[in-house]
Amino acid sequence: MIIIKNNIAIDKMRHAGHILVTILEDMRQYVVVGVSTFDLDAMIEARMTAQGLQAPCKGYGTYKFATCISLNDGIVHGVPSKEIILKSGDFVKIDVVGAYKSYCADLTRYYFVGEVSATVRRIAEVAQIALDSAIAVIKPGIKLSDISSLVQNIVEKEGFGVVRDFAGHGIGQHFHEEPSIPNYGKPGKGPVVREGMAFAIEPMITEKSFEVRILPDGWTAKTIDGGLAAHVEDTVVVTKTGVEVLTRLV
Ligand code: MF3
Ligand code: CO
């Protein structure tokens, strides 16, 4: 069942989203050579707590951190570590869920450490274009898979792959709610999008193979062939005419 959010719920999600995006944008000054992903996670968690946000990823199954931080060929669910120290050229993706009075927002931002390759810039740009294009088509009356097929078409036209093993999702009092929103598929299928639905839209794209391998930590997902991966994500709520993006600064 896809839960329709009322204005009280949306207000809480909006508050969570605004705080989270402010934190992730402010982190740009700290995502630099020499810092560990463990320290970045701790800084983000401290800022969330100080501003009244819960971190539902922490304690989700065996997961122990507020954020997921994925580098280079890391797609999603990178486990923060004192051993992972940023170096010039790294392509960093920070994914975080924050909850205000138990209502969640979920977003991912990317960061370039020092000088990155042209391929890093291009894959990041294509992921961002795919997300922006998806956000632009969501409105009441479309079918859910219209989003999926749009993302796949944009990404594959640029010669990149879309990951099959993970998907976007509905979001609310739980950070994973129905429906699942894959980044591939044929248009015109699945449930009809309606006002008050809230979605985390998250293209995950790869330079080469879209196949995934999971590290022995049980979480960190990387490309099977070591090719680069990009991931971007925003939380949106469907309005009468389109969407409101809850995880961007206007
Ligand atoms: N933020 C992720 C998502 O976009 C979920 C994090 S998994 C967890 O769906 F283990 F960190 F909780
Ligand atoms: Co998500």
Give pLDDT, residue 115. 97
Would you say residue 21 has pLDDT above 90? yes
Closest residue by Cα to residue 78 from 213, 249, 250, 240: 213
How far is the centre of ligand 2, averaged over its atoms, from the C-alpha of 106 (Å)? Answer: 5
Rounded CA-CA distance 15/162 in Å is 31
Dig out the tokens for 63 from the structure: 């997961």
Instruction: Tell me if 107 CB under 6 Å of ligand 1.
Output: no
Say which residue the tokens 């960093």 belong to: 92
Q: How confident is the model at residue 201 (pLDDT cuts 50, 70, 90)?
A: very high
The ligand 1 atom nearest the CA atom of 169: 9
Instruction: Tell me if 166 CB under 6 Å of ligand 1.
Output: no
Dig out the tokens for 236 from the structure: 């949106």
As a whole number of Å, the CA-based R_g of the chain is 17
Choose which residue among 175, 235, 246 to substitute to test ligand 1 binding: the one with the highest number of ligand atoms within 8 A of its C-beta: 175
Average confidence (pLDDT) over 75-103: 98
Q: Which helix (H) or strand (E) holds 25?
A: helix 7-26
How far is the centre of ligand 2, averaged over its atoms, from the C-alpha of 238 (Å)? Answer: 17
How far is the centre of ligand 1, averaged over its atoms, from the C-alpha of 78 (Å)? Answer: 10
Give pLDDT, residue 105. 98
DSSP-derived letter for residue 27 is G
Choose which residue among 76, 219, 231, 246 to substitute to test ligand 1 binding: the one with the highest number of ligand atoms within 8 A of its C-beta: 76
Would you say residue 250 has pLDDT above 90? no
Give pLDDT, residue 95. 99
Closest residue by Cα to residue 129 from 104, 158, 95: 158
Q: What is the pLDDT of residues 115-163, one digit of tens each?
A: 999 999 999 999 999 999 999 999 999 999 999 999 999 999 999 999 9
Q: What is the pLDDT of residues 163-189, one digit of tens each?
A: 999 999 999 999 999 999 999 999 999
Calculate the average pLDDT of the chain: 98
Average confidence (pLDDT) over 55-83: 98
The ligand 1 atom nearest the CA atom of 56: 12
Give pLDDT, residue 114. 98
Give pLDDT, residue 68. 99
- 7-245 is classed CATH 3.40.50.620: no
Instruction: Tell me if 63 CB under 6 Å of ligand 1.
Output: yes
Rounded CA-CA distance 204/120 in Å is 14
DSSP-derived letter for residue 21 is H
Rounded CA-CA distance 210/64 in Å is 27
Average confidence (pLDDT) over 30-35: 98
Share of the chain above pLDDT 90, in %: 100
How far is the centre of ligand 2, averaged over its atoms, from the C-alpha of 11 (Å)? Answer: 19
Would you say residue 70 has pLDDT above 90? yes
Name 146's bridge partners: none
**Domain spans of the chain, in order of start:** 7-245
Instruction: Tell me if 221 CB under 6 Å of ligand 1.
Output: no
